[in-house]
Structure 1
Amino acid sequence: MQVKSGRRSNAERTRAMRDRLVATARALFVAQGYAETSTPALVTAAGVTRGALYHHFADKRALFRAVVEAEAEAVAQAIEAADDRAESALDRLLAGADAYLTAMAEPGRTRLLLVEAPAVLGEAERRCIEDTRGDATLREGLEAAIEAGALRPLPVAVLAPILSAAFERAAESMAAGAEPAACRTVVRALIAGLTGRGDT
């Protein structure tokens, strides 16, 4: 019988180190902002050498991009987790909107994704990151709701980014202190307005 070794593989060690660097960087970027977070501060906080940092990431910007990707993926997963295939297409769209706002309420996430990311990476690169994550889920939800007759047949290529921008502004309002319930009510009313039947 072969005994499984307790030693981690190179791939596992690499993943653990990347996760450690990303988690450390996230905390510092949230607390201090990207511009005020130095590379020496990153390696000191992570307890690694400068060489270890550059082995995994080309520079601070590449590490920041990894943080943004991880945050965007967490939001997308939260939306997917809220998706109940037994519900109607419209109910699933509403649940996804609620899940987005809940996920964005994670401390620091709105700042990272909606403030720091456009400034550091540029809006085009930020949108590229979102395109295969939360934005893709939103497009699919809109297409399903339109196909089911729950929403007016509007062009999704135009509707999705406009609705996404509204969701982002709601998240920013919540981060600035707006009442979460009020933000959710407004977002749900926006979606209800697309049905042509009033409130849902």
Structure 2
Amino acid sequence: MRKNKAATEETIRKLIEVARTHFTNHGYTDAALESIVHEANLTRGAVYHHFRSKKELFRIVLEDVQREVAERVEQEASESEDVWQQLYLGCRAFIMAAVEEQNRRIMLIDGPAILGWEVWREMDKNHSMRLLRGQLGIMQDHGYFRMVPLDAMTHFISGGLNETALWLANESLQPTAMEETMKVLAVFLEGLKQ
């Protein structure tokens, strides 16, 4: 029984990895399920056994991307003991991870378009936004900035980070865009200090 479960998990993991490559390289619309199935060395029936549709497979891939971005945010933020530096490093990590080639199309372009903003925002809320809210809560509890409604501030900052990532995803030919963004991020966060 354990062997079957491990084989099933391996099949699903392989399918997700192959699908992620296809969704990254071709976009959701042009990623052919037949090609994904062929490269994963599976049958169409095997895919439909685990996922109801191509859209469901894409949702799982997007969830994986969101989880990886959140892990990176957490990892980079933890490189400092200073809470302000943690906030900056986490915000910076989110932007940089979101616009990386293997994440950009899935997370910023196709994710909201294919699954809708509500699904996308719920995933963001469960991953990166959850970490942002946690950091802001700790900072507010220790008096690092004025008492303001925490949910409103979390959504305000998260919205700015998401919009910035979307802008950067379309500004890849402008060499100074990322550098300018990081300067603005530092100035913005400095302005929150009490």
Question: Would you call these one fold, judging by a TM-score over 0.5?
Answer: yes
Q: What secondary structure does 1:48 align onto?
A: coil
RMSD: 1.8
Q: Which structure exhibits the higher relative contact order, with contacts defined as CA atoms closer than 8 Å and separated by 6 or more residues?
A: 2
Q: Which residue of 2 aligns with 1:120?
A: 114
Q: Give distance in 2, aligned partners of 1:188 and 1:47.
A: 47
Calculate percent identity across the aligned residue pairs: 28
Return the letter of the residue paired with 2:102: G
Provide the rounded CA distance (Å) in 1 between the counterparts of 2:162 and 2:137. Answer: 20
1:1-200 to structure 2, matched below 5 A, reads 9-84=3-78, 87-175=81-169, 176-177=171-172, 178=174, 179=176, 180-196=178-194
For the 8 Å contact 1:104–1:171, the answer to whether it is kept is yes
Gaps of 5+ in 1: 1-7
> Offset of 1:34 from its aligned partner?
0.8
Structure 1 contact 89–148 (Cα < 8 Å) conserved: no
Query: Alpha-carbon deviation of 1:86?
Result: 6.4
Deviation at 1:151, TM superposition (A): 2.0
The higher radius of gyration belongs to: 1
Shift of 1:70: 0.3
**Range that drifts further, 29-38 or 51-60:** 29-38
- 8 Å contact kept, 1:93–1:141: yes
Which residue identity lines up with residue 96 of structure 1 in the other structure?
Answer: G
Question: Quick check: 65-74 or 181-190, which moved more?
Answer: 181-190
Q: State the SS of the aligned residue for 1:112.
A: helix
Q: Deviations over 1:130-183 (max 9, x none)?
A: 211111000011111112222222212111112112112222333322432221
Local SS of the residue matching 1:125: helix
Assess if the C-alpha contact under 8 Å between 1:76 and 1:133 holds in 2: yes
Runs of at least 5 residues in structure 2 that lack an aligned partner in the other structure: none
Residue identity in the other structure for 1:102: M
Structure 2 Cα separation of the partners of residues 152 and 11 of structure 1 = 51
